[in-house]
Amino acid sequence: MTMQIRLLGFGVWLYQETGSGVQLGLLGLVQLAVQMPATLFGGAFADQFDRKRLISITQCFSFFLISFATALLITDELKPWHIYSMVAVLGVTSTMGGPARSAITANVVPTSHLMHAVTSNTATYQISSILTPLLFSLAYKLFGLPAVFMIGIIFSVPASLIPLLIKTKYGVDGKNKSSEGSMISRLWEGFTFVRTHPILPGLYIMDLGVTVVSFYREIMPLIVDKLFKQGAWAIGPLSAANSLGGVCGSFLVLFLAKYRSKGMLVLYATGIYSLLLFGFGSIQFLNTHPIFLLLIGGVIISGLGATDAIGMTTRQTTVQLTTPDHMRGRAVSFHSFCAMAANNIGTFEVGFMSDRIGAGNTMLLGGTVSICVVLLVWRLISGLRNYRYP
């Protein structure tokens, strides 16, 4: 909730201040520049140090920087370069803790329950993604952006403290004596493991190819304005619809737990996601009441959230199931490396293209490219389409 309220608050302030989709999209490039190296080092740290403390320390930065941003906003001293700077720092700290947050799951539950644990974790994130945009819209409508920033401060406190209470029972948690040598050598060891893995490269390539041309969530202020012709209040309901679909998709994975072709499950989910992008882009051609248009958009975005959650949950579970504990942090970090690269490049690409050809046409283009990527991965990566579990 801290991360999402911060993204919404910073994004809305920046768009209102500049009115530029390109400057909003630049947030993605700023995060890309800092997150690419940070996620790799975060994976090595997650395999070397106490994962609980690493999560807690990295979360503390949110409290301090959101508090600083709030003070600048209230005193009318907040500038775009402040936003870019804080996004850069928080991009590093959040990314450094990401691999530890994922890798610690296998230290909490046995392998037999890992699919359920990853699904529950994803669902919990999606539930917060429903509540946060609604809370954002309510606070923004009633009290303005300072209240939104204050909510970020409040939620950052438990986010920093609760990780220390986690009890681990399985695998190796803490310093891993099997990971010796310099940081660079450990990173190279992780890269070699991923590169020679029969499944992981296909998962990472598909995630990159699809997300780069379709990542709409962080530029929602622009999409609400250009595609739906609504004010900032509509960001909350649409973002909540995306997350509601994510919750449904996450729990659908539980019902598909006995479906052994996990690789094909990812391909099916990503293919449907690609088709839904066409529906999203086609909204621009509808001539109907704005509220009805918003409802149609909410349904489509829910579908996008559901299929994305199915693919994401299955990918994360596959990474953890097919990776030993001493390598898990680095394998997760390379997954995060690809995902964050795609998210940040996608934020800029979708923002830039929306300014040039319109938000609707950008989604249509994204759907076309995504379908091509899915078909190519299905055809060329045999390890993925043949993967079975259990």
Domains of the chain, residue spans = 2-162+182-385
Mean pLDDT within 188-209: 88
The CA-based diameter of the chain, rounded to the nearest angstrom, is: 64
Helices (H), the chain: 2-18, 21-48, 51-74, 80-103, 105-108, 114-143, 145-161, 183-195, 200-211, 220-226, 235-255, 262-282, 290-321, 325-357, 359-380, 382-385
Higher-scoring residue by pLDDT: 296, 235:
296
If one compares 23 and 371, the residue with the highest pLDDT of the two is: 371
**Sequence-separated (6 or more) residues with CB below 8 Å from residue 124:** none
Give me the pLDDT at residue 172, please.
54
The pLDDT confidence band at residue 81, using thresholds 50, 70 and 90, is very high
pLDDT at 151: 94
Question: Confidence band (pLDDT; 50, 70, 90) for 174?
Answer: very low
pLDDT of 115: 79
pLDDT above 80 (res 286): yes
Q: Select, from the ranges 158-172, 239-253, 354-368, the one with the highest average predicted confidence (pLDDT).
A: 354-368
Is the pLDDT at 175 greater than 50? The verdict is no
Q: 2-162+182-385: what CATH class?
A: mainly alpha
pLDDT of residue 69: 94
Compute the average pLDDT of residues 311-333.
Answer: 82
Q: Are 240 and 133 in contact (CB under 8 A)?
A: yes
Q: Closest Cα to residue 317, out of 108, 45, 55, 119? A: 119
Question: What average pLDDT score do residues 344-357 get?
Answer: 84
> What is the percentage of the chain residues whose pLDDT exceeds 70?
97
Q: How confident is the model at residue 181 (pLDDT cuts 50, 70, 90)?
A: low
> Would you state the pLDDT for residue 173?
43
Predicted confidence at residue 177, as pLDDT, reads 43
pLDDT recorded at residue 306: 92
Q: What percent of the chain has pLDDT over 90?
A: 26
